[in-house]
């Protein structure tokens, strides 16, 4: 595991502990489980995403691991690989509706224009699909593989959040420190 990733995970655990909501580190995913997920989804994990799942294969359902800003700040749980495969399977076809207004937000040019996309890996969830954080394995020409994007429902919108997983964790931890007391 890269030191930058380790430092952000330690920071996340420390923040949650200090706020009285300690996280539970589950058994890490095996290389075989990660390879099976890659085969089922068709998405190759980055080294950091692989390390995250080897560290803990998701979190307990009720635990907030991440905090994300879409149109509001919301707590997200870390999804285990079995759930990642199930949720990824909900979106078997890519689609784009030119009439879709992205929740009134301009479309970020780093994100390929699809409302749902088969090369996006859902690894964090808020409200059973009301908000989803994705590892984007197929960005637009202006984006980069492994960027982190978010989907929110009502209004439906896809937004850019971070350049990579470590950047995502750093931003999430900043929000967790600032906003965590309101929902932990």
Work out the number of other CB atoms within 10 angstroms of the CB of residue 31.
11
Q: Quick one: CATH architecture of 3-183?
A: 3-Layer(aba) Sandwich (3.40)
Q: What is the pTM of this model?
A: 0.91
**Domain boundaries, given as residue ranges, for the chain:** 3-183
- Give the DSSP per-residue string, 80-125: PHHHHHHHHHT--S-B--TT--GGGSPPPTTS-S-SB-TTEEEEEE
Task: Please give the Cα distance from 118 to 50 (Å, whole number).
Answer: 19
CA within 13 Å, CB half, 103: 17
Each residue's pLDDT expressed in tens, for the chain with a length of 184 residues: 999 999 999 999 999 999 999 999 999 999 999 999 999 999 999 999 999 999 999 999 999 999 999 888 999 999 999 999 988 766 555 555 666 677 777 878 898 876 556 789 999 999 888 889 999 999 989 999 999 999 888 777 888 899 999 999 999 999 999 999 998 8
- Quick one: tokens of 65? 């691991």
Which residues fall within 8 angstroms of residue 102, CB to CB, at 6 or more apart? 156, 157, 158
């Amino acid at each position: 595991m890269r030191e930058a990733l380790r430092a952000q995970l330690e920071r996340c655990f420390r923040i949650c502990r200090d706020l009285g909501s300690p996280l539970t580190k589950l058994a890490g995913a095996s290389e075989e489980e990660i390879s099976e997920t890659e085969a089922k989804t068709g998405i190759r994990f980055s080294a950091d995403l692989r390390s995250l799942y080897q560290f803990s294969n998701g979190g307990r359902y009720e635990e907030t691991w991440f905090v994300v800003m879409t149109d509001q700040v919301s707590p997200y749980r870390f999804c285990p690989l079995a759930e990642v495969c199930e949720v990824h399977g909900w979106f078997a076809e890519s689609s784009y509706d030119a009439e879709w207004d992205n929740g009134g937000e301009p479309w970020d040019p780093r994100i390929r224009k699809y409302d749902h996309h088969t090369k996006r890996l859902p690894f964090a969830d808020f409200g059973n699909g009301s908000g989803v954080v994705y590892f984007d394995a197929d960005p637009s020409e202006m984006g980069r593989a492994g960027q982190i994007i978010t989907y929110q429902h009502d209004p439906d919108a896809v937004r850019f959040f971070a350049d990579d997983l470590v950047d995502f964790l750093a931003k999430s931890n900043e929000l967790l420190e600032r906003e965590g007391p309101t929902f932990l």
